[in-house]
Amino acid sequence: MLQTDRTNDHPGRGARLFLGIAFGSLVVIVLAAGWNALTTLGEMHVREESARLDFLSRTEPIVKVRSKLTVYGNLIQESVSAEGVASSQAKEIFDQLQTELGRYPPLRKPDERTLVERLQMLLTEQDRDYRAMIGLRDSPRMKLLLDSQVVPGQRRAFAAAEEIVSWNTGRLRAADSELLSSFNQLRNHMKRLLFLLLGAALAIALSGMVLIASQQGEIRKRYAELAKNHEAQADLSARLMNAQEQERLSISRELHDEVGQSLGALLVELGRLTSILPEKNAGIQEALRKIRASAESSVTSVRNMALLLRPSMLDDLGLVAAIEWQAREVSRRTDVEVEVDAPELSGELREDVKVCLYRLVQEALNNVTRHSGARHAWVTLRQDQSKIGLTVRDDGKGFDPDRSRGLGLVGMRERLRLLHGLLRIESSPGAGTSIVATLPLA
């Protein structure tokens, strides 16, 4: 019984381990996913930043080229009417314009290259046309050339610059949408992970609940088993106590009735023999006296044994007489003077109640003489219609009932419990002890 219990000591150990691991993994996954999301977001931020910077670094020179181109165009038109100052200014602006274009970052894509090279070419054509126009030195022809060549060239260069900007804008948009898609991807990823984690957490919680439920079931089962064992034990102890009492009774009767009475009869016969035999025969009389003395001591020891096992007064005279006898016996044998206050009980008590109360007094007085150091003890018996109350009080040193076990109190409780009685112990160090037993008379 005990062995199998021990092997099953922790029925939920495997399940608990599983739950622990599952919960741990869950935490690790959440942490890893969080870390991953953070780094991905950081990377995306960096990519977005670099795309934006790239865009700015590529559009800024072109924007500047465009504004210089406007200034340049104005100066060209001015130089038709007032050359000299304007033309030198135009040349300066054109140089600046070239410089700006030169600041365009290194080209990476073929179509970008085409666009920039085209702008470059258009600007070169512009410059060439302008120089050709200045070289004419004739306003009407210059105007003609201006309208036919320079202005359209300028417009084309403008458009080319515009195209570069819009190409870059397109690229920025593409980068943006790429970022957006990876952000969406991340979001979806996180969403899936969240659902997965929720599912896993739910599963863990569910299995936890199942485990708890099964353990509670197990506990309930154990408890029921325990209660059953307890009951069986109580039953057993009741039967044992009963059997012990019966055994004592029968041995006591055997001793008292058979051995004791035979010895008693022997004494009577011896007495008769003594009176029949001539008194002059001193030898025989002396032998008879010796036999008689040894028979008497045998009677005494047999009687004492029988009484110890089961006081015959319990059967002959009832409970009160037996308690009074017990009290006197204790007073004779020990330094404790025991007084009994018990009215003759109305009606005869049930056998088991009598025995129980008698044994309680016996055990309580035993405790008094052995442990209490008392000088006096008082046994009080009170009976009413429904119950009988027994108190054994002493003036000894007392004890702390909450801390003292043993002292036969367990046995007393057990005896009482079997008859649905109660035991109360009132004691504290230095204040004596009262043992109060109450038994229902049902």
Partner 1 sequence: MTPIRVLLADDHKLMRSGLRLLLQQSPDFTVVGEADDGREAVELFNSLQPDVVVMDVGMPRLNGVEAAAQIANAKPGAAIVMLSMHSDESYVLRALRAGARGYLLKDSAEADLGRAILAVKEGKSFFSPAVSKVLLEDYIRKLARSGAEDSFDLLSTREREILQLVAEGNSSKEVANLLNLSVHTVETHRSNLMQKLHLRGMPELILYAVRKGLIS
Pattern 64-103, partner 1, x by CB under 8 A:
----------------------------------------
CB of 315 or CB of 426, closer to partner 1:
315
Given a contact cutoff of 8 angstroms between Cβ atoms, the answer to whether 413 and 356 are in contact is no
Q: Which of residues 293-322 bind partner 1 (CB under 8 A)?
A: 296, 299-300, 303, 312-313, 315-317, 321-322
- Residue 32: exposed, middle, or buried by beta-carbon count in 10 A (0-12, 13-18, 19+)? exposed
Given a contact cutoff of 8 angstroms between Cβ atoms, the answer to whether 378 and 393 are in contact is yes
75-to-78, 87, 135 alpha-carbon distances in Å: 5, 7, 16
**Interaction of residue 334 with partner 1, rule CB under 8 A:** no
**Interaction of residue 271 with partner 1, rule CB under 8 A:** yes
Given a contact cutoff of 8 angstroms between Cβ atoms, the answer to whether 65 and 99 are in contact is no
CB of 60 or CB of 329, closer to partner 1:
329
Options 269, 286, 341, 351; binder of partner 1; rule CB under 8 A: 269
Return the closest-CA partner of residue 249 out of 175, 351, 148. Answer: 351
Pattern 224-253, partner 1, x by CB under 8 A:
------------------------------
Options 21, 212, 265, 410; binder of partner 1; rule CB under 8 A: 265
**Interaction of residue 370 with partner 1, rule CB under 8 A:** no
3 state SS of 437? strand
Residues 6 or more apart in contact with residue 40 via CB below 8 angstroms: 182, 186
**Interaction of residue 291 with partner 1, rule CB under 8 A:** no
Neighbours of 355 (CB within 10 A): 23
**Interaction of residue 395 with partner 1, rule CB under 8 A:** no
How far apart are the C-alpha atoms of 392 and 376, rounded to whole Å?
Answer: 11
3 state SS of 438? strand
For residue 388, what are the β-bridge partners? 383, 439
**Interaction of residue 346 with partner 1, rule CB under 8 A:** no
Residue 434 main-chain phi, psi, to 5 deg: -125, 130
**Interaction of residue 54 with partner 1, rule CB under 8 A:** no
Options 260, 396, 398, 432; binder of partner 1; rule CB under 8 A: 260
Options 257, 286, 341, 351; binder of partner 1; rule CB under 8 A: 257
Query: Which residues contact partner 1 by CB under 8 A?
Result: 256-257, 260-262, 264-265, 267-272, 275-276, 296, 299-300, 303, 312-313, 315-317, 321-322, 324-325, 328, 331-332, 337, 375
